[in-house]
Amino acid sequence: MSAIICKDLCKTFRQGEEVITGLDKVSLSIDAGEFVCLSGPSGSGKTTLLNAMGGLDRPDSGEITVGEQRLDTLGKGELADIRLNSIGFVFQAYNLIPVLSARENVEFIMQVQGVPAAQRRLLADQVLAEVGLAGMEGRLPSELSGGQQQRVAVARAIASKPRLVLADEPTANLDTHSAAQLMDLFVALNQERGVTFVISTHDTRVMGYARRLVRLQDGRLISDEPQQPHTMAQG
């Protein structure tokens, strides 16, 4: 079953007089439970493709389907609902809400979804323990290290049990050890929960974790190959 289907996606940006190609007829199908890395140099279209898959950005043309839902035909509010209920996001900068504690950040999506307080608190504490942050539930983001903040962001992304997690350069601001821990966590969640992961990165060590590597250049898909995953420790 396909988790994501992209068909002939095109997207351009205007920067002053210049027109920049973000996506150029990109077609791609990702099955449920896959662990995919989008790779390529800066400006290759990784983030643009990820944003389109997450309903954050609308393609100029082409079709994009997540689960059973065509995203390119939906309005802002409907896209927000899809993001809320079906997709987990992990961003490059940790992007936590600074006035909320780690637990409250994790609860945030569930709270907007309307999950009862006791249930979401239980889930948040479970997930925080799962990402190795037991005992830090009450800390504000400013009281956590970069790696810990990114773990909270991951916990927030998976707490509501989405079918799909999209991560944009999740290790870019992390040291090697924290990056390895995070990627191990992603692999575990993919294997144990069957969550589909699509990760954009230009870090070759991160690409090593993927079972499928999609390469982009100048907005075009230049290769899409399965690979044998290995960990950072394995180099």
Partner 1 sequence: MSGASRVVAVLAWRNLWRNYRRTLVMLLAIGTGVWAMIFMSSLMRGMTDQMVLNGLAVLPGEVQIHHPSYRNDPSVVNSMSAPGGDLLAALEKPPVTAWAARVRVPAVIASERDNRGVTLLGVDPSAEQPLGSLPDEIVEGRFLADAGDRGVVLGASLARKLDTQLGKRVVIMSQDPQNNVADRGSRVVGIYRARLASNEEQFVYAGRDVLQEMLGIGDAVSEIAISAGDYRQVALWAPAIIAAAGPDLEVLTWMDLDAFLASMLNLQDGFTLILMVVVFLVLSFGLVNTLAMAVFERVREIGLMQALGMRPSLILYQLLLESLYLLLLGLAAGNLLAWVTIKPLESGIDISGVAQGMEMMGMGTTLYPALAYQDMLMSTVVVIVLGLLASLLPAWRAARLDPVRALNKT
Binding residues for partner 1 (CB under 8 A):
51, 54, 56-57, 76-77, 80-85, 87, 89, 91, 93, 95, 97-100, 104, 107-117, 120, 156
Minimum CB separation of residue 90 from partner 1 in Å reads: 11
Tell me the C-alpha to C-alpha distance, in Å, between residue 35 and each of 127, 149, 155. Answer: 20, 23, 18
Neighbours of 14 (CB within 10 A): 8
Q: Which is nearer to partner 1, 36 or 56 (CB)?
A: 56
Neighbours of 98 (CB within 10 A): 8
Q: Which is nearer to partner 1, 52 or 180 (CB)?
A: 52
Q: What token pair was written down for 126? A: 């479970």
Minimum CB separation of residue 192 from partner 1 in Å reads: 23
Q: Which is nearer to partner 1, 81 or 218 (CB)?
A: 81
Q: Which is nearer to partner 1, 114 or 235 (CB)?
A: 114
Minimum CB separation of residue 112 from partner 1 in Å reads: 5
Tell me the C-alpha distance between 180 and 205, whole Å: 9
Tell me the C-alpha to C-alpha distance, in Å, between residue 32 and each of 174, 200, 202, 207. Answer: 28, 17, 23, 19
Minimum CB separation of residue 187 from partner 1 in Å reads: 24
Q: Which is nearer to partner 1, 11 or 205 (CB)?
A: 11
Minimum CB separation of residue 84 from partner 1 in Å reads: 3
Partners of 168 in the β-ladder: 200
Q: What token pair was written down for 144? A: 């956590």
CB 88 within 8 A of CB 157: yes
Q: Which is nearer to partner 1, 34 or 107 (CB)?
A: 107
Tell me the C-alpha distance between 125 and 2, whole Å: 31
Q: Is 118 left (phi over 0), alpha (psi -120 to 50) or beta?
A: alpha
